Amino acid sequence: MAAFLLADVEVPDMQAYIDCGYIENVPKIAARYGGVYRARGGDMEVLEGDWTPTRMIIIEFPDMESLKALYDDPEYLPYREIRQKLTISKIVAVDGLSTPLKV
Instruction: Identify the structural domains of the chain with CATH numbers, from first to last.
Output: 3-45+54-95 (3.30.70.100)
Helix-then-strand count for the chain, H and E: 4, 4
Instruction: For residues 94 and 2, give the distance between their C-alpha atoms in angstroms, rounded to a whole number.
Output: 9
| pTM for this predicted structure | 0.92
Backbone phi and psi for residue 18, each to the nearest 5 degrees, phi listed first: -70, -50
pLDDT at 5: 98
Predicted local confidence at residue 39, as pLDDT: 96
Instruction: Using alpha carbons, list the distances in angstroms from residue 43 to 7, 26, 35, 58, 76.
Output: 15, 21, 22, 13, 27
Residues 21-68 have pLDDT tens digits of 999 999 999 999 999 999 999 999 999 999 999 999 999 999 999 999
pLDDT of 12 reads: 96
Q: 43-47, 69-73, 98-102: which has the minimum mean pLDDT? A: 98-102
Distance CA 96, CA 1 (A): 6
Does 94 have pLDDT greater than 90?
yes
> Is residue 100 very low, low, confident or very high in pLDDT (cuts 50, 70, 90)?
confident
Query: What does the DSSP assignment read for 23-44?
Result: HHHHHHHHHHTT-EEEEES---
